């Protein structure tokens, strides 16, 4: 797949992209989205945010999905914590106060966003999740928190910061390769992850 640079005349829809993203568990468990998003964070495109609860969910889910020893999963989580020491908001239960309309099982995700918002109010914050329906848009909007799905965010970022996106997409097949499996093309990875708008935007 040849990555096609975006046209400079194409407008970027929506409010300004946030400086902080809460990476929901459903995003972090993806062997494609996780390296892509963390590589963007390494380029300081945004600041990643998570919480102790998201970390617990990630370790529990990946241990089951990947059939790896808990110790190995714990080592991977520890490496992410060390790479992004400001990401973990820790115990965010106090920031659940006042939430009513979103799914209660995801209040901890919104609470992580509110915690990051309190620490860095000027950066803006969004929840990045595949489970859009579990979040009440109006409730988040009142709190000043954006709600984005990965395809929406990455497509907007492709228009706003094409050089950063080109850099991470070029290396994504190698970064997303799973041991024991053949190398997949970028086009195949974007299709498998249902990043259909990004795939079209990049020439797929």
Per-residue pLDDT at 12: 54
Residue 142 to residue 189: CA distance in whole angstroms: 35
Residue 67 to residue 55: CA distance in whole angstroms: 17
How would residue 9 be classed by pLDDT, with cut points 50, 70 and 90?
Answer: very low
> What is the arrangement of strands in the sheet containing 20-23, beginning at the earlier edge strand?
47-49, 20-23, 125-128, 145-148
How would residue 5 be classed by pLDDT, with cut points 50, 70 and 90?
Answer: low
Looking at the predicted structure, is the pLDDT value of residue 15 above 90? no
Per-residue pLDDT at 39: 97
Tell me the CATH number for domain 20-150. 3.40.50.1010
- By the 10 Å C-beta count (0-12 exposed, 13-18 middle, 19+ buried), 100 is classed as exposed
Going by C-alpha positions, the residue among 26, 11, 20, 56 that lies closest to residue 40 is 20
Q: Which two tokens stand for residue 139?
A: 């409730």
DSSP calls for 117-167: HHH-TTT-EEEE-S-GGGS-HHHHHHTTEEEE-HHHHHHHHHHH-HHHHHH
Looking at the predicted structure, is the pLDDT value of residue 204 above 80? no
Looking at the predicted structure, is the pLDDT value of residue 11 above 80? no
Per-residue pLDDT at 2: 63
Residue 11 to residue 137: CA distance in whole angstroms: 23
Per-residue pLDDT at 203: 84
Q: Which two tokens stand for residue 102?
A: 């979103």
Looking at the predicted structure, is the pLDDT value of residue 46 above 50? yes
- Cα 7 from chain centre: 25
Q: Which two tokens stand for residue 109?
A: 């995700």
* Residue 13 main-chain phi, psi, to 5 deg: -80, 150
Looking at the predicted structure, is the pLDDT value of residue 1 above 80? no
Looking at the predicted structure, is the pLDDT value of residue 8 above 60? no
pLDDT tens, residue by residue, 66-122: 888 999 999 999 999 999 999 999 999 999 999 999 999 999 999 999 999 999 989
- Cα 173 from chain centre: 18
Residue 61 to residue 59: CA distance in whole angstroms: 6
What rounded mean pLDDT belongs to the chain?
A: 92
């Amino acid at each position: 797949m040849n990555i096609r640079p975006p046209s400079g005349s194409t407008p970027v829809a929506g409010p300004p992209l946030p400086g902080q993203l809460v990476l929901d568990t459903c995003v972090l468990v993806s062997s494609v989205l996780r390296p892509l998003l963390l590589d963007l964070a390494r380029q300081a495109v945004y600041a990643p945010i998570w919480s102790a609860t998201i970390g617990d969910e990630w370790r529990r889910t990946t241990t089951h999905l990947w059939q790896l020893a808990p110790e190995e999963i714990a080592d991977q989580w520890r490496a992410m914590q060390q790479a992004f020491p400001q990401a973990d908001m820790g115990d965010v239960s106090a920031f659940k106060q006042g939430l009513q309309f979103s799914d209660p099982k995801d209040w901890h995700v919104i609470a992580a966003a509110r915690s990051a918002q309190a620490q860095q109010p000027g950066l803006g914050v969004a929840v990045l999740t595949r489970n859009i329906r579990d979040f009440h848009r109006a409730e988040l909007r009142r709190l000043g928190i954006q709600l984005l799905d990965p395809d929406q965010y990455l497509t907007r970022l492709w228009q706003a910061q094409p050089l950063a996106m080109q850099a991470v997409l070029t290396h994504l097949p190698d970064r997303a390769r799973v041991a024991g499996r053949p190398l997949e093309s970028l086009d195949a990875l974007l299709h498998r992850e249902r990043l259909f708008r990004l795939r079209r935007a990049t020439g797929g």
